[in-house]
Each structure stands twice: as C-alpha cells, then as structure tokens.
Amino acid sequence: MPKLNLHRRDYMTSLVGNLSTEELKQRLGSDHSAPQHKQPRTPYLTPKAVEKRWQVLNNADAQAQLLDSVTYEQMEHYQKNIENFIGTVKLPVGVAGPLRVNGLFAKGDYHVPLATTEAALVASYNRGSQLITQAGGTSVMLLNEGVTRTPCFAFFDLAQAGQFVAWVVTQYDEFRRIAESTTRYGKLTDISVNIEGNHVYLVFEYLTGDASGQNMVTISTNAVFEYILHHTPIEPESAFLDGNLSGDKKATAQTLRSVRGKKVTAEVHITKELVEKYLHTTPQRMADFTRMTTVGGTLSGSIGINAHYANALAAFYIACGQDAACVAESSVGITRIEVNKAGGLYASVTLPNLMVGTVGGGTSLPSQRASLDIMGLAGSGKSQALAEVCAALCLAGELSIVGAFCAGHFSRAHHKLAR
C-alpha cells in the first residue's frame, strides 16, 4: 500500500510539479473568448447543413472517409437517428456460427453478425457457436418482458406522501388509458409504488411490442406525469419524469430478480469428449475455474457473475442497430458451469436486461437492417427470437473464454490474432 501511495504522489508530481501556481491557474482557468468556428445552428440533416459542417471542420481527408459516396447517397435514412450529421464510421463485421438455437421463438441455425475492432472476439464466439451446435444446440427460453420508467415526487412530509399515494392507487385505470393513448404498440402492465421518507417513486412497467421501447415508455409516462401534476390533490414540492429507479443504461441488482427489456435464459449439456475436442480442457477444470472466479467476482462487488457478456452484446448491438449504451444494463447476468451427472458439462446463462428490438431505433438503417436480415430477424414479430439468439450467443462466448483460460490459450489467441 505505501508503494501505491508513493506512486500516486509521484504521478501527480510528474504532471504538475514543473508548473508554478500561476501557470497552473492559467492552464486550468476558464476561457470566455468566443469560439473561432461555430457549427450551423440547425441540428437537422440536409445536404446544405452537412456541407456547412464540413466547411467548419475543414478537413478534406476526414470528409472523404466519413462522407463517402455511398453514405452521401443514403444519408436521408439517418434523418431520425442523429443530429449534426457529418457521415458514417465503417466498422468491420464478422459472423459467428452456425449457432443452433432451440428456443420458444428462435428455432434453427443462425449466423450472427458482430461488429467489432477487437481481434479474437469473433473467433471466440464462432468456436463457442460450433461447440453448441455439435452438442445439439442450446435450449433457450424467454422468461419475461417489461420496460420501466420511474417518475418521482417530493413532498413536505411523509403524511403528504401517503395522501398522494392514496390518490394515485385510485387512478390506475386512468393512467393506463392516458399512457396507451400515446402509442399503438405499448401496453402499461404494472404500476408499483416506492416510498422513501417524503419521496414517492412510481414504477411504470410496459410491454413494448417489437421495439426496444425506451422512447416509447418515456413519451407514455410523460403523458401520465403531466396528468398527475395537473390533477393531484396533494401538490408536490418538486417532481421529475425519472427518479433513476428504472435502471436505464446502468447496471443494477434489482433486475436480477425481475426484468428490464427481455429476460432470457439459455442452457446446454456438452459431452466430455466434445469439451476436450473443441476447448482442449475438461468439464471439471471449467467448473473449478467458474467456482473460483465467482468468488473473485463477489470480492470485486460485481452485479451478477459472468465472464464477458459485454463483448457479445456490444458487437451484436452495433451490428444490429440496437442502443449500444444499453450494454451497461444488458450485460448484467449470471453464468453457471457445472459437471453434470454423466461427467459432461452443463452451462447456462441468464440475462434479465436484454434491451433489444427489431423495429424502431437503428434497426431500419441500411447496414443494420442487413445484419438482422442475415438472421431472418428483421421487422415485426421477431424481437423475442432476437433476444433468444442474443442469449445463445452470450452462452457461446462464455464457453469459449472459460475454455481458453482453462486450456491456457487465452493470451496465445490474442497474441496470434491481435498482433
């Protein structure tokens, strides 16, 4: 510990030790001079606005890369997805598979597109997918669905908070009518109440059809929120549309037992022979590794226990037009790896926060739609199947990375493929 403290002190000294107090103030002080170059005021996507933005940026080489001819021709497709548009970034897309999924909604062999710049990632998921397929596929079940928004209200005291709640519980039918009047697809399925002192949090939970649903539930809940502010007999001292109880774009423990988005579980039984052939290790060693790393995850305060769901989800979400920021919540989950009674391997994953959709958001953009089309999962009626494929992909990645650690191949694979 003393060495660590010395390191921190020495590091800060190396950063600022050669600067005088006045020089440091000058470096870090506020600068109120006018910017030399300003972007056009309009955030909208028009050829004229794009041209003006590049005039300000004044970088022909960057413009040639980001605003290539195909992007220029297709840029009208991005109208509802971005502001201050200047072009597109090209990411390499690989494919993992075939991945055999035996689910309630997804049934068949899937080739899964993954957009990433991390070498060895696609190879790992491809290996896990092939192993699962050779084992007869993974059994996958969608367990629950629901997306929440949580308005909050502050009152003078607990008595007022209680009076407010007493009124709220008489308004559920009206809240449902108002919320569902804003959307063709969303359904308000539950409202729960949380009281913390003189604060009240209302948890609105929705089914959002084939859309991921964040915007849908925000608009619907805002309509109810405005109704509450205009009709409540107990006026709050302050109120906000979301009180940070929903778990939106952050890891939370509450959804391990409930749901945000789609809750899915997947499992597979693999013979000892297949484990040795594909992963070059044994079921027992993989089970031992999982037990020890579960303790390590607990010591680190991890919410859920898994090896690297985030790798699969980030690459999958980007390729398929999902909200990549939702990886923060979607990567919460539990992996179990055990030796089954036949001496083979049992592995399962449970992901309670898969925020995925097959309509809306970025799913209609040309490249992202193409990725969904590869799996046959674009458009209405496919979101539950997409969630099951996503869980199966995470299972493939868990098997592959745990096998790599147990066989001593993890570093070697990255050295070989990344250098």
- H/E run at residue 146: strand 138-149
Q: Which two three-digit tokens encode residue 89? A: 């970034």
CA distance 377 to 375: 5
* Residue 183 tokens, joined: 């959307």
Please say whether the beta carbons of 177 and 191 come within 8 A.
Answer: no
CA 57 to each of CA 43, 86, 173: distance values in angstroms, whole numbers, following the listed order: 15, 10, 53
Beta bridge partners of 347: 268, 337
β-strand partners of 138: 101
Q: Which residue has the tokens 């484990």?
A: 275
Cα 212 to Cα 189: distance, rounded to the nearest angstrom: 16
Distance of CA 365 to the CA centre of its chain: 19
* Tokens linked to 157: 């005291």
List the catalytic residue out of 118, 180, 276, 338.
118
**DSSP at 255:** G
The answer to whether 267 is a known catalytic residue is no
Is 414 annotated as catalytic? yes
Q: Comparing C-alpha atoms, which of 341, 404, 364 is closest to residue 74?
A: 364
Q: Which of the residues 267, 288, 323, 338 is marked catalytic? A: 323
d(CA 309, CA 333): 8
| Active site annotation includes 118 | yes
- Which tokens in the block code for residue 69? 């001819």
Within 8 A by CB and 6+ apart from 339, the residues are 283, 284, 287, 345, 346
In three-state form (DSSP H/G/I as H, E/B as E, the rest C), the secondary structure along 185-237 is: CCEEEEEEEEEECCEEEEEEEEECCCECCHHHHHHHHHHHHHHHHHHCCCCCC
Question: Backbone phi, then psi, for 114, in 5-degree steps?
Answer: -135, 125
Please state, in angstroms and rounded to a whole number, the distance separating the CA atoms of residues 45 and 270: 51
Catalytic pick among 77, 199, 409, 414 = 414
Catalytic center residues: 118, 323, 414
